[in-house]
Structure 1
Amino acid sequence: MITISLCMIVKNEENVIARCLDSIENFVDEIIIVDTGSTDTTKEIAKGYTDKIFDFKWINDFSVARNYSYSKATMDYILWLDADDVILEEDRRKFKELKQTLDPTVDIVMMKYNVGLDQYNKPTLSYYRERLSRRINNYRWHEPVHEYLELNGKIVNSDICITHKNEGTSSYDRNLSIYEQIISRGKKLSVRGLYYYARELYYHQRYDDAIEYFTKFLDTEMGWVEDNIYACYHLSVCYEYKNDRTNMLNALLRSFKYDNPRAEICCQFGQYYMEASNYESAIVWYTLATQLKKPTDNWGFILHDYWGFIPSIQLCVCYARVGNMQKAIEYNDKAAELKPNDPYVVHNRRYFEACLAI
C-alpha cells in the first residue's frame, strides 16, 4: 500500500481548514501545512492535526509556495488540497480503495474537481486536476497564478472527486492583482497566463479587456484545445454583454476549428437565435446540445447544466413560442427530472396548467 503526504498552502483559513482536514486525515500518512501569513487561528487549528507546520513569506506566486510545501514531503505520493476543499463520504471510500490498490508505477492520478454546486449539491462546473503525484519524480509547479503541476509519465484518471466549498475566505481581486503586477513590471504572460488573465477579467466584468486577452490567447495558436474552446465560449458571452451579435457569432464559429461541438457552444448558438426571436433555429441548436454525449474523461471544463438542464428549459420556451405546447411541456418535464424545484420549471408548470384549464 502506498503512503501519502498531504501538502497544503494556507492563509487565514480558520473557518474551513478543520473541515478539510477532517475529511482526509484518516487517508494520509503525513500532513504538511505551509502558512503564508495567517493572522487568525489557522495555525493553531492545524496543530491539532500535525506538527509539520511551516511559515513561508508570500511573494505573490502560488507555484513557489506549493513547491516549498512539496519539498517537505517524505511519503511515496503527494496530495494537494486547498483549505476550502473537502472529500465527501463516497469519495473517501474510493480514496481508501485507491490507496490500497494503486499500482506504484503510476506517476500521476487525475481526480475530478467539482468547483461549483447547485442547490441540490450537484456539480455545475468540474474539471480534472493532477492531485496525486509520485514524490520521487520531483514534479514542479509552474505559473504564479492558476498554477499547474507538470504532467508526464504514467497518468491515470480516477473517479474520485474533490469538492470545492468556497466560504468566501479568499480575496476576490487577488488573482487579478497578481496578473496586473506582472504586466506592470513589463513581463509577458505565458500562453496559459493570457487565458487565465482573460478569465479573471471576464469574472470582473471587464469585458473589453477580456475580449482583448482571449483574442491574444487564441491568436497564439499554442493553447490547449480545451482552453481554446472555452476561450471562444467566454468570448461569445463577452460580445453578448456588449450586444455585438456579429462577433458573438464569429467567436462561436471559431470554436469549431478546434474540435466537435460542445453543449456549452450549442447553447450559446441557441441563445444567439433566441435573442433574434428565431425560435426554429434556436430549437436546432438546443436539440443538438441534448443529443451530445457528455465527456467523462475529458480534462477540460464541463459546465454540467449545459449538458441537460439549460437546453431542456430553453427548448420548453422555444416550443411554447412557436405554439407547440406538447413539446414545450415535454421539455419542461425533462428539465424537472434534473431540477424538480427549479423556479423556471415551477413557473412553466403553473403556466401550462393555467393554459390547459382555459
Structure 2
Amino acid sequence: MITITACMIVKNEEEVLKRCLDSLKNLVDEIVIVDTGSTDLTKEIAKTYTDKVYDFTWVHDFAAARNYSFSKATMDYIYVADADEEIDTENQEKFRMLKEAMLPEIEIVQMYYTNQLQYGTTYNYDKEYRPKLYRRLREFMWQDPIHETVALDPVIYDSDIEIIHRPTMSHAKRDFNNFYVILNKGERLSPKLTHMFAKELFIAGEDDDFIKAGEYFDEWQKDTTRTSEECSYIQCVLAKYARLQGNLELLMKVALKNIASKASSEVCYELGEHYFELEDYEEALIWYYNAAYETECQLNIHYGGDYPLMKLADCYRELGNVEQTRAYEELAKNWSLSVNSRDTF
C-alpha cells in the first residue's frame, strides 16, 4: 500500500481547517501545513493534527508556497488539499480503496472537485476533474524498441472520488489583488494567467473590478505579439469595460475585431446590454440572440445561456410580447437547472 503526505498552504483558515483535517487525518500518513501569515488560530489548530507546521513568507506567489510545501513531504505520494475542502464518509472509503490498490506506474490521480459554483471564482461547472494526488518522486523510463525515447507524459488515473469544496466566502478580491501585484512589478502575465484573470472577472468580478482591470487590458490590446486566444479574452473584458465607461468608440472597436475573427458570447451580450440601456429593444434582441445561439462563450458559460435568455425575455416584456417573454423565461430556467448537472473532464 502506498503512503501519502497531505500538503496544504493556509492563511487565516480557522473557520474551516478543522473540518478539512478531520476528513483527512485517517487517510494520509503525514500532514504538512505551510502557513503564509495567519493572524488567527490557524497555526494552533494545525499543530493539533501535525508537528510539521512551517512558516513561509508570503511573496504573492502561490506556486512558490506550494513548492515549499512539497519540499517538506516524505511519503510516496502527495495529496494537495485546500482548507475549504472536505471528503465525506463515502469518498473517504473510496480514498482508502484507492490507496490500497494503487498501481505503481500511476503518477497522477485526478479526483472530482465538486460544489464549485458556490462562491465560484474561476469555475464554469459544479463538478470537474482536478489532479489531486501526485507521485513525489518521478521515475524516468525509456520506451520503444528502436528510436527509443524517454517517456515524458505522466500516467494519469481518473478516479471517482469526490472532493467537496465548501468555502465560506469568495476569494475573487484576493486573487485580483495578486494579479495587480504581479502587473505593478512590470511583469507580463502568461497566456494562461491572462485567461484566468479575464475568466475570474466574468465569473466573480463586479463593475468596479472591470473598470480597474480594463485599463490594463486596454494596453494589452495594442500588443501585436498576443495570441488570437488572448486577443479574444482581452476583447471580452474591454467590451464590458467600455460599456461601463460609456466609451462607445472603444466598445465598437473591440466588438468589430471580435466579430471579425471569432465572435464571443460575452461580446455579443455586452452589445445587447448597450442597446438595452438605450431602450432600443429590437436591436438588443439581435445581440442577445447571437450571444445565446450563434456564438460560443469564452470565459463564463452563463453568457451563452441563461443570461442572454433572460435578457431576451426582458426585451420581449418591454415590447409587450407576453408569449415570447414566458417562453424565454422558461428556457432560461431550464438552462440554469441543467448546467449544474454537467461535468467537464
TM-score normalised by length of structure 1: 0.67
Change beyond 3 A, Cα 1:104–1:116: same
Change beyond 3 A, Cα 1:312–1:210: same
Aligned position for 2:306: 309
Change beyond 3 A, Cα 1:47–1:60: same
Residue in structure 1 matching 2:266, options 264, 267, 279: 264
3-state secondary structure, aligned to 2:137: helix
Aligned position for 2:143: none
Aligned position for 2:51: 51
3-state secondary structure, aligned to 1:117: coil
Aligned position for 2:327: 330
**Once the 2 structures are TM-superposed, how far is the Cα of residue 243 of structure 1 from its aligned partner?**
0.9
3-state secondary structure, aligned to 1:312: helix
Aligned position for 2:30: 30
Contact between 1:113 and 1:129, CA under 8 Å: does it hold in 2? no
The one-letter amino acid paired with 2:74 is T
1:86-125 equivalent positions in 2, closer than 5 A = 86-87=86-87, 105-108=105-108, 115-117=116-118
Contact between 2:236 and 2:264, CA under 8 Å: does it hold in 1? no
Q: For 1:314 and 1:156, how far apart are their aligned partners in 2?
A: 42
- Which 5+ residue runs of structure 1 have no aligned equivalent? 139-150, 341-358
Q: Deviations over 1:9-58 (max 9, x none)?
A: 11221112122333444544432111223332212222343332223333
Q: For 2:79 and 2:220, how far apart are their aligned partners in 1?
A: 31
Q: For 2:159 and 2:248, how far apart are their aligned partners in 1?
A: 41
Change beyond 3 A, Cα 1:25–1:115: same
3-state secondary structure, aligned to 1:188: coil
Q: Deviations over 1:213-236 (max 9, x none)?
A: 2244452644593x5543322221
Aligned position for 1:280: 282
Deviation larger for 23-32 or 68-77: 23-32
3-state secondary structure, aligned to 2:31: strand
Aligned position for 1:74: 74
Q: For 1:293 and 1:93, how far apart are their aligned partners in 2?
A: 43
Change beyond 3 A, Cα 1:18–1:181: same
1:1-358 equivalent positions in 2, closer than 5 A = 3-87=3-87, 105-108=105-108, 115-117=116-118, 130-137=131-138, 153-154=154-155, 164-168=165-169, 172=173, 176=177, 179-180=180-181, 183=184, 187-191=186-190, 195=194, 205=208, 209-218=212-221, 219=223, 221-222=225-226, 225=229, 228-255=231-258, 260-291=262-293, 301=299, 303-337=300-334
Contact between 1:194 and 1:217, CA under 8 Å: does it hold in 2? no
Q: For 1:335 and 1:90, how far apart are their aligned partners in 2?
A: 34
Aligned position for 2:148: none
**Once the 2 structures are TM-superposed, how far is the Cα of residue 3 of structure 1 from its aligned partner?**
4.6
Q: Deviations over 1:211-261 (max 9, x none)?
A: 232244452644593x55433222211111101133223334444577x55
- Which 5+ residue runs of structure 2 have no aligned equivalent? 140-151, 338-345
Q: For 2:253 and 2:99, how far apart are their aligned partners in 1?
A: 47
Q: For 2:287 and 2:33, how far apart are their aligned partners in 1?
A: 48
What is the aligned residue count?
316
**Once the 2 structures are TM-superposed, how far is the Cα of residue 67 of structure 1 from its aligned partner?**
0.8
Contact between 1:112 and 1:159, CA under 8 Å: does it hold in 2? no
Change beyond 3 A, Cα 1:175–1:268: closer
3-state secondary structure, aligned to 1:6: strand
**Once the 2 structures are TM-superposed, how far is the Cα of residue 100 of structure 1 from its aligned partner?**
6.7
Change beyond 3 A, Cα 1:104–1:19: same
Contact between 1:113 and 1:164, CA under 8 Å: does it hold in 2? yes
Contact between 1:114 and 1:161, CA under 8 Å: does it hold in 2? no
**Once the 2 structures are TM-superposed, how far is the Cα of residue 125 of structure 1 from its aligned partner?**
6.6
The one-letter amino acid paired with 1:250 is K
3-state secondary structure, aligned to 1:167: coil
**Once the 2 structures are TM-superposed, how far is the Cα of residue 68 of structure 1 from its aligned partner?**
0.7
Q: For 1:315 and 1:204, how far apart are their aligned partners in 2?
A: 22
